[in-house]
Structure 1
Amino acid sequence: MAKVAFLGLGVMGFPMAGHLVKKGGHEVTVYNRTAAKAKDWADKFGGKTAGTPKAAAEGQDFVMCCVGNDNDLRAVTIGPDGAFAGMKKGATFVDHTTASAEVARELDAAATKAGFKFVDAPVSGGQAGAENGVLTVMCGGTEDAYAGAEPIINSAYARMCKLLGPAGSGQLTKMVNQICIAGLVQGLSEGIHFAKKSGLDVTAVIETISKGAAQSWQMENRYKAMNEGKYDFGFAVEWMRKDLSISLAEARRNGATLPVTALVDQFYAEVEKMGGKRWDTSSLMARLQR
């Protein structure tokens, strides 16, 4: 059992922090910008709450974090009330936020200077993966930092956890993940749209081709929603656009060419204009059915 803090109790963080108690058996203190959410979490899982990230981090062996973006991450880490001001020497900060590789390297340098460890560890699997404790966790950092954090992550909410390289490598890998998903969902949307226009039974088509080379997680888990036009669940379009903007910005830095990713991002912009900011990413189908 370890002493753990968790910062950020959104749709991902709330169940992830819960698994640290239920499955991991750890002693958990939580912080959330909206204190009522932290109280709800403590009432459900029996952990403790703290009024600031600094207070949550004090005395902890590990501090986990899952917030919105680079700015949110800096807000809970750096500054007089940030977690970094409360962390003890030798502790480990694990960031599950999907953020830039740049901020991961920045925070790793700050952590090293202050005498504690840092791992950037964005996740994939969505809300369902968080709730079921079967997330894929992509990590960047030193081998020493990762070796300490891996058992805590695996004890609670990971199906797969791997170190991909130095600080920032976890975020870069998450960018690869989102780039691949963008193209897959667009291809699946077009395939189902084509099947409908051709008068085929979409369910029968998917049951058949999902056993061959076209198979994917998106096909298995999203074709029904796409066929029925129901998108009020899952990973929101506005979150995907945030992730794709990070990927496209990094591509401009490293010289990668991402024409399909850029195009799909614009398709998602069209979905947002249709009122779909909070629709699941499978709603790319909706723009084909207008």
Structure 2
Amino acid sequence: MQVGVIGLGSMGGGMAGAAARAGLQVRGYDVRPTTIDGVTPAASAHDVAEGADILLVMVVNAQQLEDSLFGAGGALSGLPKGAVVIASATIPASDAERIGKRVEEAGHLFLDAPVSGGAARAADGELTFMASGSEEAFAKAAPLLDACAAKVFRLGPTIGTGSTVKTVHQLLAGVHIAAAAEAMALGVRAGADARELFEVICNAAGRSWMFENRVPHMLDRDFAPRSAVEIFVKDLGLVLDTGRHLRFPLPIAASAHQQFLAAAAAGFGQEDDAAVVKVYEKLAGIEVDGR
């Protein structure tokens, strides 16, 4: 089974490595040359797709997905007929529908399959996939999904459903991170010990997965990007765009988006998304430091 991977960042690189460890033959391409154990580098998107049974595209947004598939030297010019394209970027459902239709019209299968779990779970092959597409596409993609996923939610045949579910997920993820930062900063400003506060909340009803995962980054002052602030500027922007399209109010998501925008404006855009806490720290003259 030959797999091509476009996008070898923290997520795509981890997925490529997990696929290689599972015994798949993996070629990878990124605009920034990247070396991953077990993954053969390719010179272009076209080259990475040649001979591939499965093409995984893990890029930042819909424009990059479209360019990597259909642009000059794009993957579809080299992809064999009947191969499956797995699109795992977080993009609007309307873009997934449009791009998926073009891929299918070119004689390929398409799986709208965004993921959750972060870089560590990507490297361990333990991601959650929110996927929609035909039964044939799921069957063709199965070796890659088996290698990279702890859980695959099969959300039906309609391309775009996977992206819709991921959009809702990102609403909650972004709000939970911003709320965790706000809560921790309030506690420290009021005089609570940051690490004790964290331990209490982790053992009480107010906890969330994001709280338990991101607050340690704040406590340890470790803002090396696993998922950057700018990702949630983009993803919560996508959430708000979806709400505008549906004429659906999203005041809580909008407030969280403003906090990530504030963090990016303050120069923290390329830091870990937990750096949204620095907005509160600057305003209150505190530091959420558990060291």
Do both share a fold (TM > 0.5)? yes
Residue 96 of structure 1 aligns with which residue?
A: 88
The answer for the alignment partner of 1:207 in structure 2 is 199
1:106 Cα deviation (Å)?
Answer: 1.3
The residue number in structure 1 matching 2:154 is 163
Residue ranges of structure 2 left out of the alignment (5+ in a row): 283-291
Question: What secondary structure sits across from 2:133 in the alignment?
Answer: coil
1:81 equivalent in alignment to 2:73: yes
2-structure distance, mates of 1:163, 1:252: 27
Partner of 1:27: 25
Q: Is 1:135 aligned to 2:127, yes or no?
A: yes
Partner SS state of residue 267, structure 2: coil
Equivalent positions of 1:1-290 (< 5 A) are 2-22=1-21, 24-34=22-32, 36-37=33-34, 40-41=35-36, 44-45=37-38, 47-79=39-71, 81-155=73-147, 157-165=148-156, 166-290=158-282
Cα-Cα RMSD:
1.8
Please state whether the residue corresponding to 1:136 is helix, strand or coil: strand
Instruction: State the 1:228 CA deviation.
Output: 4.8
Task: Report the TM-score, using the length of structure 1 for normalisation.
Answer: 0.90
Counterpart-to-counterpart distance in 2, 1:188 and 1:11: 23
Q: Say how many residue pairs are matched.
A: 281
**1:107-149 CA distance string (max 9 Å, x none):** 2111221221101211112222222322221112123212332
For 2:191, what is the secondary structure of its paired residue? coil
What TM-score does the superposition give when structure 2 sets the normalisation length? 0.90
Contact 1:19 1:133 (C-alpha < 8 Å) held by counterparts: yes
Q: Return structure 1 stretches of 4+ with deviation > 4 angstroms.
A: none
For structure 1, the 5+ residue unaligned runs are none
CA contact (8 A) 1:79 1:85 kept: no
Q: Which residue of 1 aligns with 2:287?
A: none
C-alpha distance in structure 1 between counterparts of 2:221 and 2:9, whole Å: 26
Q: Distance in 2 between matches of 1:52 and 1:232?
A: 29
How far did 1:80 drift? Answer: 5.2
2:83/2:140 contact within 8 Å kept: no
